[in-house]
A and B are shown apart, each in its own frame.
Chain A
């Protein structure tokens, strides 16, 4: 191995792509996200039991397959390409938090359920004033004796209105030197109210979660949560690469088919070069995302600079590709019917999650000691 996916990983990608295009084409995504729950439970069951996706990266002792992070990044790239609505990404990030910070007990409590897909878990970290959700928090933990309660408001919680378990970041007296610590809250805990948000991104259900003296359990010891943000950035970059590739495919297919002035519009350089620019940006973003995921997989300290730069590269590639796709499609691209806007919405939403490109580059500059 040098710096490439191996043959098994490529085969896994191909079979997953076939599965998603058969089982969850975009009409199905639209139908699923329009339901209250926001995803297709039967599809999720198949993704879990038939394909074993949620447990891929989890240790075998907890019912997983112990693959490392490259396979999950492939899942995200493919679900990002297909805009699949499922609690996969939410569970992945929550489980990474549990793996990294959780005690043996909490790992044993949570991971087998996540691995089997029966327990839907999510990360509730972002706040209105804190996109990454690990610093400047207002949600506060209060301990009285052995019991802890949380009070505050979390936003953009993926599948937050339906999740069985939420991993919540909060500040407070026990939060340690970084001022943020993770807690586990049950979906049916008292004082928890959650509402699905009317979101820009139509294919990823998110919720606002309000905690009012809600009972919680600390997830292990306090510690620096920023590695979790880095993992999130690396994985989100892979998802965005998938979406960018889908946009490019869509634009190129249309540019070959659509005739004006007795020529396919793709033969006009103004269109062709715009498509070429999409590929240049995609290619760079893909290399960065892949490197970031490999660094995450190997636990390399490089992740602290590579993850934010991959996130920035992927965000800019995706938002510009999605915009270019709408432009190449012309009027049809500006309709509700056409799928282009689903990508356009996802692109801008993903770009802002965990902090936009400027915020990511500020993290890069910090990490470089500038």
Chain B
């Protein structure tokens, strides 16, 4: 069935296809098709090409170096890039462009926009996200990292953790506690902090799949200028939440495209091993196909709503559960198909991407084992499956909240938590 995109969007689609045809290498199958030692150079050069053609921050207004594209054009662009297996930017771009840039455009001052947006786009600054801490994960408002004014500077002390791409970044946006006497959600400030200074130390953490993609970041009297606050002092929670809401609508239809490419790989794997006639494998493959189709249909619904002017809201909790749990299910099926081959897996590796391998990756046992291992992350980051189910229950279904034990000034909560921990 043809779902009718507006004619203008289809015209834009041809332009994107033409761009990709012109600028991707002739024998392009995806990043996974390049030898590993050539990928980094390609990435850098590709990002430059995207920048030159205003294809990096396509949703931003043109005055900030964006392409000022409408929502449907952004979607079309994301779809065509996904279909071609072409990267849309670097690891740090999802933080710099997708999260921080959009937040600044909506909530930043003119000076902040003029200063940061061009540097984010040019690649001069590479950003990471400092939200989580050892004591504050799902309960993000429990952060303890403190920021205290000293003349014209904030002095920052504390620790962030699970900071993705922190080892590649030179700037971090973070949440710090600026008023410990206020209730926990009220005394938080959103700060922009340079990392190349003596008070900031980054230590890599190796993940379950064996790759070092996230980090601990320690702050010891680290400094940033007083003006580096987004939104108001002590109103950082609102900024933090706004940031999490950006870019939700745009990926609605691309998840299905990427999972479709993965499913084609899985079908091929099952065929190569002669298992498509096995009743159980066949049933599970058809189930996977159904789930990916459901993602496609839901994506079309979400896009239709966005085009009608509705902002994506809490229903994205449903999408998060669907894709992250599916990611575990289809990779578990791959393990079943591989059987003993998965135990000493051979062939090309994935390069340690978190969601799925780069397009063009060889259909190797090792790529499947790594994808299977990496799939455990999706139900934890960006709001765990349990947190999503709380959101669905409380926000979408209106079920009563659990009784809370965390009212009152943060200082007292933190103190009672410490004494429990000691006791």
Please give the residue numbers on chain A whose beta carbons come within 8 Å of chain B beta carbons, in ascending order.
1-4, 248, 252, 255-256, 263-264, 266-269, 271-273, 275-277, 279-280, 283-284, 287-288, 290-291, 294-295, 298, 300, 302, 305-306, 309, 312-313, 358, 361-362, 364-365, 368, 370
Q: Which of B307, B402, B403 is within 8 Å of A269, CB to CB?
A: B402
User: Do the beta carbons of A267 and B401 come within 8 Å of each other?
Assistant: yes
Within 8 A of A (CB), among B78-92: none
Within 8 A of A (CB), among B249-275: 267, 270-271
For chain A, what secondary structure do more than half of its interface residues adopt (helix, strand, loop), or is it mixed? Answer: helix
Task: Name the A residues within 8 Å of B286 (CB-CB).
Answer: 309, 312, 361-362, 364-365, 368, 370
Q: Is B353 an interface residue (CB 8 A)?
A: no
Known interface pairs A284-B322, A364-B290, A370-B285. Does A279 touch B3 (Cβ–Cβ under 8 Å)?
no
> What are the 8 tightest A-B residue pairs by CB atom distance, in nearest-first order?
A272-B393, A361-B286, A287-B297, A276-B392, A266-B399, A300-B1, A276-B389, A364-B286
User: Do the beta carbons of A309 and B392 come within 8 Å of each other?
Assistant: no
User: Do the beta carbons of B289 and A3 come within 8 Å of each other?
Assistant: no
Among B286, B303, B394, the one with the most A-chain Cβ atoms within 10 Å of its Cβ is B286
A-B CB pair tally, cutoff 8 Å:
142
A277 to B5 alpha-carbon distance, docked (Å): 32
Q: Which of B283, B294, B392, B398 is within 8 Å of A287, CB to CB?
A: B294
Task: Name the B residues within 8 Å of A283 (CB-CB).
Answer: 298, 315, 318
24 A-B pairs in the complex with CB atoms less than 8 angstroms apart: A1-B4, A264-B399, A266-B399, A269-B386, A269-B389, A273-B389, A273-B393, A279-B392, A283-B298, A283-B318, A284-B322, A287-B297, A288-B290, A288-B293, A288-B294, A294-B1, A298-B1, A309-B286, A361-B286, A362-B282, A362-B283, A365-B285, A370-B271, A370-B282
User: Do the beta carbons of A361 and B290 come within 8 Å of each other?
Assistant: yes
Known interface pairs A252-B397, A370-B276. Does A309 touch B4 (Cβ–Cβ under 8 Å)?
no
Task: Name the B residues within 8 Å of A272 (CB-CB).
Answer: 389-390, 393-394, 397, 399
Task: Name the B residues within 8 Å of A256 (CB-CB).
Answer: 398-400
A34 to B88 alpha-carbon distance, docked (Å): 62
Within 8 A of A (CB), among B373-423: 386, 388-390, 392-394, 396-403
Task: Name the A residues within 8 Å of B67 (CB-CB).
Answer: none
Task: Name the A residues within 8 Å of B393 (CB-CB).
Answer: 266, 269, 272-273, 275-276
User: Do the beta carbons of B283 and A295 come within 8 Å of each other?
Assistant: no
Q: Which of A2, A305, A313, A364 is within 8 Å of B3, CB to CB?
A: A2
Q: Is B19 an interface residue (CB 8 A)?
A: no
User: Do the beta carbons of B1 and A291 come within 8 Å of each other?
Assistant: yes
Q: Is B301 an interface residue (CB 8 A)?
A: yes
Shortest Cβ distance from A264 into B: residue: B400
Task: Name the B residues within 8 Å of A370 (CB-CB).
Answer: 267, 270-271, 276, 282, 285-286
Shortest Cβ distance from B287 into A: residue: A361
CB distance from B236 to the nearest CB of A (A): 28
**Interface size grouping (class) on chain B:** 35 or more
User: Do the beta carbons of B297 and A290 come within 8 Å of each other?
Assistant: yes
User: Do the beta carbons of A273 and B298 come within 8 Å of each other?
Assistant: no
A267 to B301 alpha-carbon distance, docked (Å): 30
Known interface pairs A4-B305, A272-B390, A370-B285. Does A263 touch B297 (Cβ–Cβ under 8 Å)?
no
Q: Which of A4, A267, A309 is within 8 Å of B293, CB to CB?
A: A309
Q: Which of B276, B294, B304, B388 is within 8 Å of A313, CB to CB?
A: B294
Known interface pairs A4-B305, A263-B403, A288-B290. Does A279 touch B285 (Cβ–Cβ under 8 Å)?
no
A31 to B142 alpha-carbon distance, docked (Å): 57
User: Do the beta carbons of A267 and B399 come within 8 Å of each other?
Assistant: yes
Q: Which of A267, A276, A288, A298 is within 8 Å of B397, CB to CB?
A: A276
User: Do the beta carbons of A3 and B398 come within 8 Å of each other?
Assistant: no
CB distance from B71 to the nearest CB of A (A): 12
Task: Name the A residues within 8 Å of B321 (CB-CB).
Answer: 280
CB distance from B307 to the nearest CB of A (A): 6
Shortest Cβ distance from A360 into B: residue: B286
User: Do the beta carbons of B307 and A306 come within 8 Å of each other?
Assistant: no
User: Do the beta carbons of B318 and A266 come within 8 Å of each other?
Assistant: no
A277 to B396 alpha-carbon distance, docked (Å): 12
User: Do the beta carbons of A365 and B283 come within 8 Å of each other?
Assistant: yes
A257 to B187 alpha-carbon distance, docked (Å): 35
Q: Is B300 an interface residue (CB 8 A)?
A: yes
CB distance from A324 to the nearest CB of B (A): 13
User: Do the beta carbons of B322 and A3 come within 8 Å of each other?
Assistant: no
A294 to B1 alpha-carbon distance, docked (Å): 8
Shortest Cβ distance from A292 into B: residue: B297
Shortest Cβ distance from B271 into A: residue: A370
A4 to B397 alpha-carbon distance, docked (Å): 22
Shortest Cβ distance from A299 into B: residue: B1
Task: Name the A residues within 8 Å of B305 (CB-CB).
Answer: 4
Task: Name the B residues within 8 Å of A298 (CB-CB).
Answer: 1
User: Do the beta carbons of B301 and A287 come within 8 Å of each other?
Assistant: yes
Task: Name the A residues within 8 Å of B386 (CB-CB).
Answer: 269, 273
A370 to B4 alpha-carbon distance, docked (Å): 29
Task: Name the B residues within 8 Å of A267 (CB-CB).
Answer: 399-403
Shortest Cβ distance from A285 into B: residue: B294
Task: Name the A residues within 8 Å of B290 (CB-CB).
Answer: 288, 309, 312-313, 361, 364
Shortest Cβ distance from A252 into B: residue: B397
Among B289, B389, B393, B402, the one with the most A-chain Cβ atoms within 10 Å of its Cβ is B393
User: Do the beta carbons of A2 and B303 come within 8 Å of each other?
Assistant: yes
CB distance from A52 to the nearest CB of B (A): 28
CB distance from B334 to the nearest CB of A (A): 15
Task: Name the A residues within 8 Å of B388 (CB-CB).
Answer: 276
Task: Name the A residues within 8 Å of B392 (CB-CB).
Answer: 275-276, 279-280
CB distance from A69 to the nearest CB of B (A): 13
